[in-house]
Structure formats: C-alpha cells, structure tokens
A = this chain, B = another copy of it.
C-alpha cells in the first residue's frame, strides 16, 4: 500500500461542514460571520507523549483529545482538524485502530478531518485543530484579576498515578490501575464546559503540563499571583485507592501530575453560581481550589491555610522529569 491508498482507505471522508476537505492542495474553511477561528497544534512523539505499547485506538483518541482540550480552554467550538503522520511502516491493523479511535472522538465533537500529510519516519502525530468562537469572546490566559476564584474541572492526578505504575514506582489494585490508565490514555476534553464558560470565566488554560506549571501561565499572562489549597486539589484525585497514598505523592499527582486535560479557570466570586450552572449544563464537575491575588507568586497551602513546603516542577519536554 502506498501513501495515497493509505489516505484513501483510512483518512478520507467527505467534508460536510467545510467547503473543501481532504484531496486538494489546501482545505477550505469558512467561519461563520462574526466568528474568529481558534487554532492550536500539538505534536505527539512515541516514548515522550505515549508508550509504544499503547492501544492505537486510544492513541487516535488522545492525539485529537489534547488538541480539542486547547479549543476548550479558549471556549471555542470544534470545526475541523488536519493530521500529519510519520510512520515507521504501514501497519494496517494499527492504522485501522488508530483511525477508529480518532474518528470516534472527532464525530462526538462534530470535528471533521480536512487535510494532512503522511510520510515514513519515526512515529510522530501532529494535529492542528480549528474551532470557532464569537469575536472577542475567546477565553484567554490574561484575564485573571485579584479576588477571582480559581476553579478546576473534573479530576486531577490520575494520569500521573498510571504513569508511576508504568514506571514501577507505585503499585495499584488492578481496577484502580485500569481506571488511571484510561484517564492517561483516553482523556475527555472539556469542550462543552469551555463553551459554557464564555462570558463567565475571566481566564482559562488547559492542564497538560501539571496544575502548578499551567497556572503559572495564567499568573504570568495576567500579572497576578495566587494561593492554591493543596488539600482541595488532592481531593479531586479520581481513584478512590489514592486516598491511602503518601500525602506528598498525592500532592505531586494533583498539583504537578501532567496529562490531566482538565480546564483550570478563574472567575469573580459573584460569578460562582454561573460557574456551577455551566458545570451542570455541560455535565462536568467543577471545584474551587484557590484564589487569585495581587501579590505575585504562587502560594500552596493546606486546608487550614498553612504553607506547604514542597517543590513542584512543571513538565518540560526538554527537561528530564523526576
């Protein structure tokens, strides 16, 4: 099978919402009047973003999920995506499962594949995703104000727990491991919540490198500081068995776990009811875990407000990870 057969068999579908999809030099997108196009690109490399043993259907899901998560963090509605794929060889079983996982998530969000590229090379997945957002309504990292409350969606730290099991530093009961592993391999992007938060949240970011690191982006872009309640964050670890783990490990997972793909966002206290309603409408749990302050820097405290002396490193793709 050659390059064009591969595209034809696994990746070519008629475009239904875009004026032109796969098969020409370019795809054509037509955002509706008054809408801006939100664009994000994420590249996934074997051994760094996923293990070589991962189920290819889950990998197809995750490659798109991490990109949809960026759209969610901007409050954008998914429209379309391109996929560039470097493969060491053509493995039809792999391609069948990968494309199945990819399109299942794409279809769930009405996001169509409009173009891309395939080539031989070390396994590498690069997706660029497109969404629409009303002009001026995108959620940005730069809008947090002192006094705003800090919120997070869903659960924290479960993907990191699975990673620690893979690394052999932790053991979990089989059921808990399977739950954590699914969280790592098949994150659900918070697309509906992101759109529901338009006009309510003052700033937002998606959690990919760990809460402390990603919160740092909001603080830097907004010129503010924050206090985070570590106990409130640790209470959001989804796996019940985690409650019995060492508190320092639980804080690492919840505050610097990485691969959470939840939304971290800020909103004025007066908007708290609207935030809870946005969570309800999008069927997404949301919880308050801290507060934005004028004093620069990040303060991590326990439920009683006492300081926690523990260092947290954000994930950096060019640094070794602890």
Query: Footprint of B on A, CB under 8 Å?
Result: 1-4, 6, 19-20, 23-31, 33, 36-43, 45-49, 70-71, 73-74, 76, 80, 82-87, 90, 114-122, 124, 126, 128, 130-131, 133, 135, 138, 140-142, 204-206, 221, 316-319
How far is the CB of A64 from the nearest CB of chain B, in Å?
Answer: 14
Further contacts, 20 of them, CB under 8 A, given A41-B117, A117-B126: A3-B316, A19-B36, A24-B142, A25-B70, A25-B73, A26-B71, A26-B131, A31-B37, A37-B37, A39-B130, A41-B84, A41-B115, A42-B84, A43-B86, A43-B117, A45-B120, A48-B121, A49-B119, A82-B128, A120-B318
How far is the CB of A128 from the nearest CB of chain B, in Å?
Answer: 4
* Chain B residue nearest to A76 in the complex (CB): B26
Give the docked Cα–Cα distance between A30 and B140 (Å).
16
Contact at B318–A126, with CB atoms within 8 Å? no
* Chain B residue nearest to A213 in the complex (CB): B4
Q: How many copies does the complex hold?
A: 2
- Supposing A2-B318, A43-B84, A48-B121 touch, asked if A29 and B25 sit within 8 A by C-beta, the answer is no
Give the docked Cα–Cα distance between A3 and B126 (Å).
17
Contact at B126–A48, with CB atoms within 8 Å? no
Q: Please name all residues of chain B whose beta carbon is closer than 8 Å to the beta carbon of A3 when the two chains form the complex.
A: 316-319
Give the docked Cα–Cα distance between A19 and B76 (Å).
15
Give the docked Cα–Cα distance between A83 and B40 (Å).
10
Contact of A115 among B40, B84, B119, B319 (CB under 8 A): B40
- Supposing A43-B117, A317-B120, A319-B2 touch, asked if A28 and B36 sit within 8 A by C-beta, the answer is yes
Q: Please name all residues of chain B whose beta carbon is closer than 8 Å to the beta carbon of A70 when the two chains form the complex.
A: 25-26
Give the docked Cα–Cα distance between A133 and B36 (Å).
16
Contact of A317 among B20, B36, B119, B124 (CB under 8 A): B119
Can you sample 25 A-B contacts with CB below 8 Å? Answer: A1-B318, A2-B316, A2-B318, A19-B36, A24-B74, A24-B140, A25-B73, A26-B38, A26-B73, A26-B131, A27-B38, A29-B39, A31-B37, A39-B128, A41-B83, A41-B115, A42-B117, A45-B122, A46-B121, A84-B126, A87-B318, A120-B318, A121-B122, A122-B122, A122-B124
- Supposing A25-B206, A316-B3 touch, asked if A36 and B30 sit within 8 A by C-beta, the answer is yes
Most buried by B among A6, A33, A130, A142: A130
